[in-house]
Structure formats: structure tokens, C-alpha cells
Amino acid sequence: MSSPALHEPFEAIDRQRLSAALGMWVFLASEILFFGSLFLGFTVYRSLHPQAILEAGRETNVVFGSVNTAILLISSVTMAVADKAAERGLRRMVVGCLAATAALGLAFLVLKGLEYREDIHEHLVPGPDFKLKTPAAQLFFGFYWSMTAIHAVHLTIGIAAVCLFAWRVSRRAFDFTASAALPSLGLYWHLVDIIWIFLYPLLYLGGRAP
Amino acid sequence: MTDMTAESGLTAPRSDTYLNHGSTLWSWLTTTDHKRIALLYFGSITLFFFIGGAAATMIRLELISPNGALFTNDGYNRLFTLHGVIMVWFFLVPSIPTTFGNFLLPLMIGASDVAFPRLNLFSWYLNTVGGLLVVACLVLGGVDTGWTFYTPFSSMFSNSYVFLAVAAVFVVGFSTIATGVNFIVTVHALRAPGMTWFRLPLFVWTQYATAIVIILATPVLAISLALIAAERLFGLPIFDPQHGGDPVLFQHLFWFYSHPAVYIMILPAFGVVSELIACFSRRQVFGYTAMVWAILGISVIGFFVWGHHMFVAGMSPFAALVFSFLSFIVAVPSAIKVFNWTFTLYRGQIYFEAPMLYALGFIGLFTIGGLTGLFTASLPIDVHVTDSYFVVAHFHYVMVGGSVSAFFGALHFWWPKISGRMAPDGWARFAAILMFFGFNFTFFPQFVMGYLGMNRRYHHYAPEFQIYHVASSMGAVILAAAYLLPMGYLTWSLFRGQKARANPWGATGLEWQTSSPPPKHNFDQRPVVTERAYVYHPDQESPRHEEPNAREPHNPQGQRG
């Protein structure tokens, strides 16, 4: 009658699923304020030093940025498919989609790493031998490095959780159809994706209009 | 069903309480029982209260003489920073929510645990990791930035363990967020049948509102501290004026958290006091609905007043006026609460037991703290008293006179439920009165010297202020005694105290409808709620006089069995 996924203190699996989703939404609200402060700071500096921020914005590598945006968007699709497949109890489909999601996430990190290497090579790390002369251009890269690094930390946590979940599903370790873990993980993954969708125009598209 | 006979079934000693469900250390460290996690948190915050208190003791000792005889300038900076960091993030913010909130929230709404028990345990471990980091910071040599970590000093110049302190606060912030998520979902999903939103005890409402403030404010602190770390460790110019960065931006982000944080500290205290005032005056809470809207109003408006911490930091006159206006507005719901507590006393049958003395003390001290808040919210006075002892006295009246009094009131009120023993009321009343007296003795002189021009954060001062500092330090001795006393008699009561009945105060809440201490799963049968909160007497009738031992809850919220 009752599902093995049902835990104390809940008495019904539906309520437990709703609660897990609510808990994740509440946590995501917190995450939005977390990144929101960064967006606010960036916006303030952009209005204080418009020219310098645009000048610095032209230095990021738009190819890496765009390819990574595409990769993350696709990973959100595979995540959503995994979620839907779990509702129907399609175990192999779930494992496959989760593996694809994790692989795409890893691909994003690898590309990001290559991009970082190029940035370092081009003296885009704030400091005495920074590439641009305008002092405020370094502010842009202060935000570039902190925003993308914090985003990468979130993505790494997401990849680890997806891998763990895929492994447990493939080992038939728990009742993934009833459990609320997958929809919650999906919500988190999509948030990390959406944050990037805001980061992409801020960091890669500013200053490039003809 | 008379309550006394029904209660006899609950008074029989039982072997399956949450306390003796398992007795190994391992069973405590891996528990997911919200009551045991509350006790783990009790241990942590008591430890930090005394570390922060030791720092305060040394500050008061140093300030007896105007020449700064005991500590170097740098040592003194580290001392008051340590006091602030530990008291704010390791005592006040977690104090009532993680202990009484954890213990009581599920009991009060008739649930068997919080929504995510393992997350709850995880939050305690995060809190412990944060605690270890701050202790490491303390042992290595401390921080000298002040608890506010203002840039560019903290990010570019300070030669102390800023990173460790910032990391500690960052980690402990996520522990608080975990608790906040848990509370919000618990209140939404696990209320017992019949426990509608407007039947919730006000303590539950305050925990809910506090949780909302926690999840929306804490991440902003986390990111501002992470940016300081990025600036210190990697030289990223975020707030660096040389590169066109704006240190005032840091202050905005910091106070966007730290002003709501004041409500994280005081809202739970409001909840405690509402429970105590109703129970010990045997009256329905006056204006329950207004109280609920005041709680929610404070938590919302509290987000829009942060600028009043920065009136002299460089702000447009228009922004300053708006922040000043909003700061006056946020005082309205607080005043509604104070008036409603007072009206609740009116025509009540008042019992002056220890928890009630703490609650009455709270009302007086919080009112002074709140009214002086209006002084500092008005621009012309704030410019005069900014960074003076007037401000120090103001927030200590709210945080210590308010939150800490409520914490001790809660401790004495729910002690029988938590431990199964009664605290010795004579000693407890003595400690409560001593605390009220010692508190005013310590902090009232600070209003006066602050108004006369004594700056905060200095240990060299003009000799004419010495009389006030000596008075304040003498008061601090009394206050310290009043904080230490409960450690003694509460410990004594654990072994020798009278065994507590299920409902020794005759209170109406669901937490009193189970045995003291409660069984592992809180209730033997899931309670059904049939009544509003606080129906201590019929509508349109005053409460009757009852002997202290024969107080009855009249219409308790839950029906047993």
C-alpha cells in the first residue's frame, strides 16, 4: 500500500512529494537572492562606468560563451526528459538521460576551463599586468570571474547529485517513481541553467553591438 | 472530560520518551528527532553565548579605565569584533529558532517531526563546522574589522584572519537557511487536521515569518562575504575604490541582510512573549489577527529599511528621507504588538512566575529599545548619535533586553516539557529580577554617555565618561551573575527538581497535550484540533481566579485520543 519511498514524518506519498518540491522552490528563492546580489552589483557598476564595462565586455570569448549556452540548454532538455520518464517508471530511459545530463554538464565545465586558460593567457585576470588600461575595466572582470566561478560550483554540485542519483536508479536502490528526489533535482538543475541564461548576455554580449 | 483525570494517563512515568529512546553518544549524533536536534543546538549556542559573554566581560573590564590599560588597540579591536561575530551569528540568529523552534514547531502543529529531518541534522553539522572555523579564527588571533566587515578595510588592509571569520559566517548562514526551508515546509505541509492558519499559535507564526526572512536575506550576506573573500584571496577588485569600485555598495548589500537579521533575532522573541503573556494572565491574546498581520508586516517592511544604517555613509537626501520614513513605518506593527500584549494583561488573572517575569521584562526593555530606534531613525538625531554608545545601548536593549530575555523566558516556560522537571521557581524569579536590574544597570548609562558624545569601538576615552563606564561595568557583573545562575539551578533541577506534569501551567497549546518529556513520535495518537489558540476563558467573560496548581487550559487546542 504505502511506498517504500515514504519517510517520517509524512503519512502520504503525495504530500511528501509536494513538500519536497516546495522545499526546493523555497531554497531556489534563496539562490535567486544569492545571485541577485551579484547581478545588482554588476548593474550598479555598469551604470557608474558604462564605457569601461562595455570595453571590457568585448574581451570575453563569445564562441565559448555561446557554445556553453547551447550545451546547458540541451542538458536542461535531457533533465526534463529524465523527470518525465521517471513518472512513467522507465528506468533505463531515466538512467540514460541522467548520464547525458551529467555528460553535458561536464562538457560545459571542460569548455569553461579551456576558456579560463585562454583568459589567463590574455591577461584578463585583474592585477598589475591587466590587459586593459581603464581601471574600471578590471571591475568587469572581477564580476566575470566571481560570477562564472560561483556558477561553476553550483553546476559541479548538480553534476555530482545527478551522477549519484543515476547510480542509485541503475542499482534499483530505491523507488524512483514515487520519490520526489528527481523532480527536486530537476528544479535545481534548471535554476543553474537559468542563471547562466542571465550571465550570458551580461558577460558575453555587452559592447558587441555594431 | 476533566483535564485532571485525562492527564493522569500522561503523568505515569514512561520509558519511551525522546530522552531515553537511545542513550549512546552515537544515537545523539545521528538522531533525526527534532527534539534531540534542538538539544544539540542548545549545547552549541550555550557554548557560544559564554564565549561571546567572556569577550563582553573583557570589554567591560577594559573600559573601567579611560587609558585602555589591559589591551593594545589591535587587541581591543579583535575583542569587540569577536564579541559581535559570535553573539550575532552563533547565538542570536540561531538562538530561539534552532532550539525552541526545532523543539516546539512540530509539537505545536501536531506533527511528528519537521518536514526534512535529515536536513535538520545536516544543518546542525553545518553550524558545528561554522563554529569550528570561528573558534580556529579565535585561537589563531582573531579579526579586527568589526562584525560588519566593512570594505575596503576588510578586503585590502586588515592584517587578521578575515577569511576564516567570513568563511565561518558563510557556512553558518547556510545552516540557518536549511532551518528556514524546513520550517516553511513544515508549517505548510504538516499541520494536524483542524489546525488552520488562523488557529496557529503566534509562536508558530513568528517562526514562519522568521524563516521567510532567513531564506530571503541570508543569501545576500553570503554573497557579500564571498566577494570579500574573492577580493582578499584573488585580488579581484569588487569594492576597490582605486578601480572605481564602491565600498558603499558593500554596505548596502551587508545591511540588506543585517537589518532583516534584526527581525530574525526579535520575531521569535515576539512569539515566545505572546505565549507567555497569554498563559500567565489566563487571557486570550488581544487582537490575535492583528498580531498575525503585524508579524507578517514586520517581516516584509523590515526588508526596506536597511539604509538607515548608512545615513552618514553617503546617500542622497531623497533616499535618506525614504529610508527614514520607512523606518518609522516598521515601528507601527511593533507598537501594535506591544499594545496588544498590554491589553492582553488587562483584566487577566496574572501569575508572577519566572517565565512571566521575563516576559514582562521583555515588554519594558523592548519598548525602550524600540523607541530609541525611532531616535536613530530620524535623520537629524541620527547624524548626532551615529557610531556612539547611544546606538550601542539601543540595539542591546532590543537584542539582549529583548531577545535574550525572551530566550530565558522560553527556557523556563518549556523547561518542564523539555526535561520533564520543574525549575525551582523561587530561584528562577530571583534570576529574572536580577537580569532585569543588571541589564538596565549595564546599558542605561550607555544611552547617556552616547548622547554626550562617547564613541563606540574606542577604548581610550575622555575622563568625564569614566563614571558611566564604571557604572556599566558594575551592571555587567550583576548581569553575568544573572546569566550564570540558571546554569546552576536548572542543572540541579534535572536531578532533584519536582517531576513535571504534562501541562504544569495549564496552557492551551498542543505541545502541552502530550507527556513531559514527549515520546519519540511526539503524540501517541495524532491530535485533532478543534479550537482557536489561547482560549483560556469563554468569549465575553473574564478569566476566573484559579489556584496555581489547579490552572486548567479550559479549551485546549487538541482533543486527545
Q: pLDDT tens-digit profile of B451-462?
A: 999 999 999 999
**Number of independent structural domains in chain A:** 1
Q: pLDDT tens-digit profile of A105-129?
A: 999 999 999 999 999 999 999 988 8
Mean pLDDT of the residues in chain B = 94
What pLDDT band is residue A177 in, cutting at 50, 70 and 90? confident
The CATH number for A194's domain is 1.20.120.80
Tell me whether residue B11 is in a domain. Answer: no
> Is it the case that residue B8 has pLDDT exceeding 50?
no
> Is it the case that residue B99 has pLDDT exceeding 80?
yes
Tell me whether residue B18 is in a domain. Answer: no
Distance CA B528, CA B512 (A): 14
The burial of B535, by beta-carbon neighbours within 10 Å (0-12 exposed, 13-18 middle, 19 or more buried), is given as middle
User: Helices (DSSP H) in B32-110: which residue ranges?
Assistant: 34-62, 73-85, 93-96, 102-109
Q: Give the CA distances from residue B93 to residues B96, B255, B479, in Å, rounded to whole numbers and listed in that order.
A: 8, 15, 21
Nearest to A135 among B190, B242, B249 (CB): B242
User: Helices (DSSP H) in A88-136: which residue ranges?
Assistant: 91-121
Question: Which of A37, A145, A148, A191 to mutate to test binding with chain B, by most B CBs within 10 Å of its CB?
Answer: A37
User: Can you give the pLDDT at residue B6?
Assistant: 45
Contacts of A18 in chain B (CB under 8 A): 189
Is the CB of A81 inside 8 Å of chain B's CB atoms? no
| Least confident span in A168-177, B67-76, B411-420 | A168-177
Query: B405 — phi, psi (to 5°)?
Result: -60, -45
Query: B190 — phi, psi (to 5°)?
Result: -120, 15
Is the CB of B185 inside 8 Å of chain A's CB atoms? yes
**Number of independent structural domains in chain B:** 1
Tell me whether residue B199 is in a domain. Answer: yes
- How many Cβ atoms sit within 10 Å of the Cβ of residue A120? 10
Distance CA B423, CA B264 (A): 28
Distance CA B553, CA B545 (A): 13
Question: What are the helix and strand counts (H, E) for chain B?
Answer: 18, 2
- The residue among B437, B440, B432, B439 whose CA lies nearest residue B486 is B432
Residues in chain A: 210
Question: Which of B208, B213, B236 to mutate to test binding with chain A, by most A CBs within 10 Å of its CB?
Answer: B236
User: Can you give the pLDDT at residue A9?
Assistant: 84
What percent of chain A lies above the pLDDT cut of 70? 98
Q: Which residues are registered as beta bridge partners of B17? A: B519
Residue with cell 496548581: B549
Rounded to an integer, the average pLDDT of A55-82 is 96
Cα B183 → chain centroid: 16
What percent of chain A lies above the pLDDT cut of 90? 80
Q: Identify the domain containing residue B409 by its residue range.
A: 26-559
- How many Cβ atoms sit within 10 Å of the Cβ of residue B3? 18
Is the CB of A181 inside 8 Å of chain B's CB atoms? no
User: Can you give the pLDDT at residue B108?
Assistant: 97
Distance CA A159, CA A185 (A): 10
Is the CB of A153 inside 8 Å of chain B's CB atoms? no
Tell me whether residue B224 is in a domain. Answer: yes
Measured in angstroms, the CA of A7 and the nearest CA of chain B are apart by 9
What pLDDT band is residue A151 in, cutting at 50, 70 and 90? very high
All three cell numbers of B235: 585580488
Cis peptide bond upstream of B152, omega within 30:
yes
Is the CB of B244 inside 8 Å of chain A's CB atoms? yes
* B361 membership: H or E segment, kind and range: helix B354-377
Rounded to an integer, the average pLDDT of B339-360 is 96
For chain B, the straight-line distance linking the first and the last C-alpha, in angstroms and rounded, comes to: 11
Residue of A nearest to B246 (CA): A45
Distance CA A147, CA B238 (A): 11
The CATH number for B533's domain is 1.20.210.10
Cβ–Cβ gap A37/B181 under 8 Å = no
Is the CB of A52 inside 8 Å of chain B's CB atoms? yes
Measured in angstroms, the CA of B184 and the nearest CA of chain A are apart by 8
Is the CB of B156 inside 8 Å of chain A's CB atoms? no
All three cell numbers of A57: 565586455
B404 near B438, Cβ under 8 Å? no
How many alpha carbons fall within 13 Å on the CB side of residue B259?
A: 24
Q: Identify the domain containing residue A90 by its residue range.
A: 61-205
